[in-house]
Amino acid sequence: MKKRLDEWLKSQFDPPPAIRTARLWIRDGKIYPPPVKVGRAYYVDQDAKFQGAITRPSLAQRIPR
């Protein structure tokens, strides 16, 4: 069963990100399986997962000179 993108975001995140952000995720392939666009709306499989959590880079250790 597929859900509209806004409903899927509400079920996965609290608070949900902006629709614009989710559309960028779709374009970048960060939601799997990929959503389907029907007209102007995206529909996402209810079991879809966000794959692309942003990780902050660790600070590089300084090499003594």
Q: What is the pLDDT of residues 46-61, one digit of tens each?
A: 999 998 765 555 556 6
3-state SS assignment for residue 45: strand
Rounded Cα distance, 56 and 54, in Å:
7
Strand order in the sheet with 36-38: 2-4, 41-45, 36-38
| pTM value surpassing 0.85 | no
Nearest residue to 16 (alpha-carbon basis) of 36, 34, 63, 25: 25
Q: What are the chain's domains?
A: 2-45 (1.10.1660)
With tokens 């993108």, the residue in question is 5
Per-residue model confidence (pLDDT) at position 64:
63
